[in-house]
Every structure is written in C-alpha cells, then in structure tokens.
Structure 1
Amino acid sequence: MSYKYINEIASPENLQKFLEFVDLAAGAGQNVNNVWDIGDKLRNSPQMQLCLQAIQQDPASAKMLEEKYIGPSYDIEAMLKMPKSSLGWTYAKVMSTLGYDPQFYRLRPSIEEDIDYIASRIRKTHDIHHIITGFSLDNLGELGVISVTVAQTRYPTFLLLDLLGLLMTFFTSDKLYSEELSATEKGQTLGFKFELLSAGIKMGQEAKPLFPVKWEEGFERPLDEWREELNIKPFLDGPFSWYSHPQLQAAVL
C-alpha cells in the first residue's frame, strides 16, 4: 500500500530533521545566518552530492570547480564609478540604495572541497543574480531568483527553501491570488509563490549556466549585454521585479 511508503519517509528521525529546517527557514527573514546554517546542515547530504553531479555535467562549470575561482570582494565605491548601466554600476546603485552589505554572505572556512566551493560561490553571487534576472531583493522576488539556481544546479539549500516557502505559505495564507490585491497581499498567497517559483525555474532552464560566469571580470560591461549573452529575459516590471521599487527605479535611471 502507498501508505507504507509514507510511513517509512515520515519516520520520527526524518520528521525531527524536517522540523529543524522549518524552524531555521521561518527565521531566515529576520536573520540571513539561518540560510547559511541550512546550507551547512546539508553539506554532507546526498542532495549536495546530486548538486555536485549536476554542476560537473556542464563543461564550463566543471572547469570552474577545478579552478575554484572566487574573485575579489565587491567594492561598492569603485563600482559606482563604473559606466552607467553596467552590471557593476547597477549592482552598486541597488545595494547602496537599499543599504545592503555587499559582503553579507558567509564563505566556508576552506574551499578545497568542491562542495564547499560551490556553496561559497553561490552565496557570493546571489545578489548579482538578482540584478541580472530582475527579481526583487525582497520576499516578492526571493523565491524566484533562488529557483533560477535550483533549475541549473539543484543546489539543495535553495531547493529546500523553495519547498518550505510553499509549505509555510500553505499554512499562513488566508487569501486567493488575485490581480486586485496589492503587491504585498499577492506575495502572501500560495498562487503567487507557485507563479514565482515557476518563473524562476523557466528562466533557469532557458538561460545559459550562471555558475561558471566570472562576474567580477565583467562588471564594467553593460547589463543588457550580459543578459543577451546569457539568454536572460529579465523581469522589468510587475511585483516580481526590483525595477518596480520606486527608489531603485529612480536610482538606475
């Protein structure tokens, strides 16, 4: 019977692990370190090995793994002096307008192991992916941008956050998705979350691999040029998009 399978996976041990992840994910909105803790808990998991296999299948990504390229730290002041509408200038404008720390990410103590390098590189480039894709840097776009990474690499931390995001919305949402709702109200519906995840997965499937891109060596290139090269069709309006944020829209004009 199918219930036997459910009983096997819903063992007390598995449920306890699941509840630990739910607790960390629920607090991620207040403390980004919770996200890094989830990643650290999944370091030696079978899911991380599948992520490694997925990345190794792409020749450029496999080469990046061998090289272990991290690149220099992001220098907001230097990037603000780059050509207007370049990737670096746009990133710096958005981050400085929002007051975000460009070094927000937690690197692993060592990147000698492939799985530690993958986690460190994905963490460092996460906000660059926001700029490239157009997904907003708040709850209205976060599940979308991590779904791009999930589609391309199967990175387990982001995959789990996608699933937990749906689960928590299932328990907390009290409205049906409707175009008449405000952006904030839409973002609290299960329909919005499904649409957001689907949009990110579709973008990731259609785009060229982002993992092997050395963004740091091309910050002065036009943002539109990067998007065209990578086959990224960004969200430039609507609730998913950071361009819909009035302050950010004014900053990059």
Structure 2
Amino acid sequence: MTDATAISTGSSAVETAADGTPLRHPDRPVPQYRPLTAYHHFRELLKDKEDTSHVFRIFEALPHKSFMPRVRNLVLSEQGERLRAEEPFLPPILDDHDALRKLPKGSVAHAYCDFMESEGLSAAGLVAESEKLGRRKYGDLIEWYGFRNRDTHDLMHVLTGYGRDALGEQCVLLFTHGQQPSHGHLLIGYAGALNIKQNVRGSKAPVFKAVRQAQKTGTACPPLIEMPIRELLAMDLAEARAKLNIPEPHWYRECHRIWREEGIDPYDLLGTEQVDAGAPAAA
C-alpha cells in the first residue's frame, strides 16, 4: 500500500492519495439506503429497458457497506496509483478501435471491437447515458473508481460470452455482483431473471441456473476493475478466459438452445406468441 495522507477541512480530515486527490470529496453526500426509491426505478426500468438512467438510480438508492472498503483498498494502493497514472479514463482507450485493431487477431481487443461495432455501441455512449442524470462531479477517488466500474461493463460481456439479450444482461449484472457486491446488481439481476421466467411461461429454459452460474463466475474471477485494461485487451481471448477462471456460459447457451427449439427468439422474447405481454423483460 502507498501511504495515504489526510488534509484538514475544518473539523474533519480527508484521506487523500499521494498526489493529493481526496478519497471522498468533503461535499460528496453520504449515500442513503432507499429501497422504495430503488423499487420505483426498477418498475420504470421494466417499462423501458433501454432507459439505463434507472439502473444508475437503483444503484444510488442501494449502497453496499463493502463499497468504500473496496474503493479504499484499490485507490490508495500502489496498484491503484499505477492504474490512475496509466489509465486515468478508459473511454478514449476503449473507443480507439484503430489502435485496438492493431493488436493480434484473436485478442480481447478484436473481440471487443467486433462486439461494440456489431451492437452499435461505444464507451462514450455509456458515459453520455450516465451524464443524463446531471450528477455533480467531485473529482475524487470514488468518482474514478465508479467511472472505471461503469466503463468496463461491455468488456465484461466480451470476456464472459453473455450477449445483450435480456438474459445476457441479467447474467452480466450478476457476474458484476460476484466481482463488486451490490444490492442493485442483485435486485436487477434476479428480479429480471424472474421477469423473464414470467414472460416466457411454460418454457423449460434454466434461467436461474444461468444467472447463478454468472454470479459464481464473477466471484471466481479476479476483479477486472483492478487489472490494467490495456494489458487485458492485448491478451488472447481464450487465454484471458482461462487465466481469469471464466468458463463457457453453459446454462446461458442452454437457455438459448431451448428457446429456439420452442420457437422463441432469445433476442426478442416479447416478439413471440409464447410470451405473456403483461410484463416486459428487464435489461
């Protein structure tokens, strides 16, 4: 660990990194646990799964007690100092596909570019979605950690093999919970899985086995947020998965196989006659 310092701000002291960046800005409010607010935004998310602003609101309303210890352990460590110096902000790195395409074929970088281009996504786009909330920026270490957690979301899709279908999103959320425990991930992941089961009534697809496998995989995988992302992008995809203990998402694939046999499109669960249209799938 590097030596953390403290600066006096009136009657209290603020922990800082070696360069003086505060761990928590003095003006940053302490998050309050608001389950009813989280439930409201979850219901709104069900109505429009593309409105990811509700996802951010859910996370804000369900703070986890382990969050600050995780932030402190990384950002005030030597590894955290290196990451902040070498990768201060990930979107410019992730969106430079010309540079990423120069890495070897079969690399995580190529798979990431293929995924983002095929889905019409960008890291900057995710930033824009989060900024729609109009939240104040504090320039502290919590903010850097939160941005890094947000900006590695699509990279998790690539490494795990989970797509952007409804089930794939629940699986990535629960993989993320395994990495970074959060009541928000649990709520959206498992409630979303239940919603899928209710929408596709009578299907034999093992939805809960799929999301549970994703959660176990996230727990077994070293925290991606703590890894040098440039080094990860340069790795061979198969080798990266083996090194990170990420297995084939068997139960997720099995759900897709069964749904197709049942005449259900996994990427358009609500577009089939088998679906109960009373409740849309969660993102």
- 1:70 equivalent in alignment to 2:89: yes
Structure 2 Cα separation of the partners of residues 214 and 115 of structure 1: 18
- 1:86 equivalent in alignment to 2:104: no
- 1:53 equivalent in alignment to 2:63: no
Moved more, 19-28 or 206-215: 19-28
Deviation at 1:61, TM superposition (A): 9.2
The 1:143/1:153 distance shift into structure 2, 3 A limit, reads same
- 1:122 equivalent in alignment to 2:146: no
The normalised TM-score by structure 2 is 0.62
Task: Tell me if the contact between 2:163 and 2:169 (Cα under 8 Å) persists in the aligned partners.
Answer: yes
Indicate the structure with greater helix content.
1
Among 210, 226, 234, the residue aligned to 2:248: 234
Deviation at 1:240, TM superposition (A): 6.5
The 1:201/1:101 distance shift into structure 2, 3 A limit, reads same
* Runs of 5+ unmatched residues, structure 1: 1-12, 179-185, 246-253
Deviation at 1:131, TM superposition (A): 0.8
Secondary structure of the corresponding residue to residue 48 of structure 1:
coil
Which portions of structure 1, spanning 4 or more consecutive aligned residues, are displaced by more than 3 angstroms? Answer: 13-16, 54-57, 59-72, 107-115, 166-170
Q: Which amino acid aligns with 2:56?
A: W
Q: CA RMSD in A?
A: 3.4
Among 37, 41, 46, the residue aligned to 1:21: 41
Structure 1 Cα separation of the partners of residues 211 and 43 of structure 2: 21
Deviation at 1:77, TM superposition (A): 3.0
Structure 1 Cα separation of the partners of residues 230 and 108 of structure 2: 10
Deviation at 1:129, TM superposition (A): 0.8
The 1:118/1:177 distance shift into structure 2, 3 A limit, reads farther
Task: Tell me if the contact between 1:122 and 1:211 (Cα under 8 Å) persists in the aligned partners.
Answer: yes
What does residue 204 of structure 1 align with? Answer: 218
The normalised TM-score by structure 1 is 0.68
Secondary structure of the corresponding residue to residue 140 of structure 1:
helix
* Runs of 5+ unmatched residues, structure 2: 1-32, 266-283
Structure 1 Cα separation of the partners of residues 142 and 47 of structure 2: 25
Task: Tell me if the contact between 1:51 and 1:156 (Cα under 8 Å) persists in the aligned partners.
Answer: no
Q: Which amino acid aligns with 2:124?
A: Q
Q: Deviations over 1:64-97 (max 9, x none)?
A: 5555443452212332332111111111012112
Task: Say how many residue pairs are matched.
Answer: 213
Q: Which amino acid aligns with 1:91?
A: Y
Deviation at 1:217, TM superposition (A): 3.7
Aligned residues with identical type, % of pairs: 21
- 1:37 equivalent in alignment to 2:57: yes
Task: Tell me if the contact between 2:101 and 2:109 (Cα under 8 Å) persists in the aligned partners.
Answer: yes
